[in-house]
Amino acid sequence: MDNFTYEKLKDLLEIGHEIEFDFDGIFCSINNGQNENHKASWYFSTNHKGEFTNTFLADFYDVESLLTSLNKIKIKEKSLKEIIDNKLYDPSTLTIF
């Protein structure tokens, strides 16, 4: 998607899409799921050299908290907005579900 921006990412998440991409060797995903504490939630997940992290972002229907949490994500000192808007990720890995 040539015109993929941080605003477009937020729009897609708001309607329930999940996003995956690779940034500097780190597989990143913004996905929804559940665990023992949250029935339906958004997570920011990474996989770097087999080391997995899952960070809770917001309950699934709490769009305001989701968007606020996105603004706080940093990967290698870069904000998610900077990574997406400046096309610092590998575009061939961008997947929208």
Side-chain-side CA neighbours of residue 87 (13 Å): 6
Rounded Cα–Cα distance for residues 52 and 60 (Å): 21
Q: Which residue has the tokens 């029935």?
A: 39
pLDDT tens per residue, range 51-82 = 999 999 999 999 999 999 999 999 999 999 99
Q: Is 37's pLDDT higher than 90?
A: no
| Residue 46 bridge partners (DSSP) | 28, 53
pTM value is 0.88
